[in-house]
Amino acid sequence: LANVEGPLRRAQAGGMLNMAELLKVASVLRALRGITEWRKKCAGARTVLDGRFESLTPNRYLEERITGAVLSEEEMADTASPALASIRRRIRSASARARETLDRMVRSPAYQKFLQDPIVTIREGRFVVPVKAECRGEVPGLVHDTSASGSTVFVEPMGAVDANNQVRVLQSQEKKEMERILRELSAEAGNFADAILGSYAAAVELNVIFAKASLAYKMKATRPKLNREGRIVLRRARHPLIAPDRVVPTDIELGVRFDTLVVTGPNTGGKTVALKTAGLLTLMALCGLLIPAAEGSEISAFDQVLADIGDEQSIEQSLSTFSAHMKNIIGIMGRADGQSLVLLDELGAGTDPVEGAALAESILEALRRKGAKIAATTHYAELKAYALQTPGVENACCEFDVATLRPTYRLLIGMPGRSNAFAISLRLGMD
């Protein structure tokens, strides 16, 4: 649906809409009519959406007034008014007379030798003929243009001046009549502005609802239970942007038995995907969307989801990878509170491993003191030990199939992972 609030408010205040704006109004009215007709065909038991459908008020009269007068963003129909039809008939007649006069001239042997080409063309809205520059004085008339090379002048012969003048006068009348029609249509649109905008708002809301339903159907999504206690329980959760035939469902838990989840495991094993899945599904639920997870899943209605994911460098500020991450994390630490979900990918990476591990641990402790729920991925063995020794912190890993040397992409909570760098290198072809 096109947004027509601005044009309709302007029309309501007495402004004139252009043809493109009027066509947008007509398209909204056509959509409203289509929605109400569809609802009538589907009539049955009442639903919670009936109130919204009943608030739609199509206006076929105004829709047809606009579409009957305006053909495109730049063209108005002859039938927009009897006066416009009459003016355009006279324009065609006067144009034909002017062209006929010049056609006789370009066919005349007496004039052909002075012409660059035996054609009639238009310059500045007037019919002219192309005359050789050196023969300018042989064709009495008004010069309207010159070719880029200077070898041709475009002359309006005196015999065509009256007919051309009549065309210009009629074109001026046409313009005034078109403006009158636009003002009339705009005034009618302004009279119905409040009703149209009320229906438009309801239609937009219905459009969003049906879009959400369509997405949920395609993703085989379910409605999660919502809480405000910081609990996330995702059963067979699927990343919504990974193709259904490739995505691996996984279980994710946070805020029930522990407030911090430290995810370790192999490179390319799915740690970041698990992190993004938790964040995206939380945001989807907060936006009123069903989530791609099994029944029984639960999402906390966090006030904010704060994330530092990815290794992009800030070229604009010439920051290193580590510095860019730290700048983002410092911002997260300043904003986090007891109603925050914090997602940290490869926490502490990009610097000395010993210092990075110590820094990562201190960041997690600072966020925990603020009451945030945290999921972080890492390669540091020190953080695995930290999770084992600290109440409220739990290890998790992305499963790795030792037999096939391939990750399964399933998240195993309660088990610290290994990076499996050698095994993965062998799988990728290193001898």
Claim to verify: residue 103 and residue 155 sit in the same structural domain: yes
- 155-199 residue pLDDT tens: 888 888 888 888 889 999 999 999 999 999 999 999 999 999 999
With 0-12 / 13-18 / 19 or more C-beta atoms within 10 angstroms meaning exposed / middle / buried, residue 27 is middle
Identify whether the C-beta of residue 320 lies closer than 8 Å to the C-beta of residue 311: no
Q: What is the mean pLDDT of residues 196-206?
A: 94
Say if residue 422's pLDDT is above 60: yes
Q: Is 319 left (phi over 0), alpha (psi -120 to 50) or beta?
A: beta
Rounded to whole angstroms, the Cα distance separating 386 from 357 reads 10
Helix, coil or strand: residue 134: helix
For residue 414, give every residue at least 6 positions away whose Cβ sits within 8 Å of its Cβ, in sequence order, or none.
394, 395, 396
Claim to verify: residue 22 and residue 69 sit in the same structural domain: yes
State the average pLDDT for the chain.
88
pLDDT for the residue 40: 85
Q: How far apart are the first and last CA of the chain?
A: 59
**Last residue within a domain, chosen from 199, 216, 233:** 216
Claim to verify: residue 227 and residue 102 sit in the same structural domain: no
Identify whether the C-beta of residue 259 lies closer than 8 Å to the C-beta of residue 334: no
Rounded to whole angstroms, the Cα distance separating 198 from 57 reads 9
The CATH number for 355's domain is: 3.40.50.300
Claim to verify: residue 413 and residue 359 sit in the same structural domain: yes
Domain count, the chain: 3
- 329-383 residue pLDDT tens: 999 999 999 999 999 998 887 777 888 899 999 999 999 999 999 999 988 888 9
pLDDT band at residue 317 under the 50/70/90 scheme: very low
Task: Give the H/E segment covering residue 226.
Answer: strand 225-227
Q: For residue 13, what are the domain limits?
A: 5-76+176-216
Please write down the long-range contacts of 51-57, taking CB distance under 8 Å and 24 or more positions apart.
Answer: 52/202, 52/205, 52/206, 53/202, 53/206, 55/198, 55/199, 55/202, 56/32, 56/199, 56/202, 56/203, 57/32, 57/195, 57/196, 57/198, 57/199
pLDDT for the residue 402: 64
Claim to verify: residue 181 and residue 280 sit in the same structural domain: no
Identify whether the C-beta of residue 157 lies closer than 8 Å to the C-beta of residue 30: no
Say if residue 132's pLDDT is above 50: yes
Q: What is the mean pLDDT of residues 16-36?
A: 96
Identify whether the C-beta of residue 313 lies closer than 8 Å to the C-beta of residue 349: no
Claim to verify: residue 288 and residue 232 sit in the same structural domain: yes
- 85-100 residue pLDDT tens: 999 999 999 888 888 8
pLDDT for the residue 339: 96
In eight-state DSSP terms, residue 180 is H
Share above pLDDT 70 across residues of the chain, in percent, rounded to a whole number: 93
Distance of CA 104 to the CA centre of its chain: 57
Helix, coil or strand: residue 263: strand
Task: Please give the structure tokens belonging to residue 284.
Answer: 């989807």
Q: Is beta strand 126-132 parallel, antiparallel or unpaired with respect to 121-123?
A: antiparallel
**Last residue within a domain, chosen from 102, 136, 167:** 167
Identify whether the C-beta of residue 275 lies closer than 8 Å to the C-beta of residue 246: no
Identify whether the C-beta of residue 123 lies closer than 8 Å to the C-beta of residue 154: yes
Claim to verify: residue 18 and residue 66 sit in the same structural domain: yes
Claim to verify: residue 27 and residue 117 sit in the same structural domain: no
The lowest-confidence range among 178-182, 313-317, 417-421 is: 313-317
Claim to verify: residue 72 and residue 204 sit in the same structural domain: yes
Claim to verify: residue 128 and residue 180 sit in the same structural domain: no
Claim to verify: residue 421 and residue 342 sit in the same structural domain: yes
Task: Please give the structure tokens belonging to residue 196.
Answer: 């149209």
Rounded to whole angstroms, the Cα distance separating 309 from 395 reads 19
Q: What is the mean pLDDT of residues 136-140?
A: 81
The CATH number for 90's domain is: 1.10.1420
Say if residue 315's pLDDT is above 60: no
The lowest-confidence range among 10-14, 274-278, 389-393, 412-416 is: 412-416
Strand runs (DSSP E) across 25-102, as ranges?
none
**Last residue within a domain, chosen from 167, 202, 231:** 167
Claim to verify: residue 30 and residue 93 sit in the same structural domain: no
Rounded to whole angstroms, the Cα distance separating 8 from 254 reads 49
Task: Please give the structure tokens belonging to residue 274.
Answer: 């698990």
Angle at which helix 158-191 crosses helix 193-219, to 10 degrees, equals 80
Identify whether the C-beta of residue 378 lies closer than 8 Å to the C-beta of residue 263: yes
- The model carries a pTM of 0.71
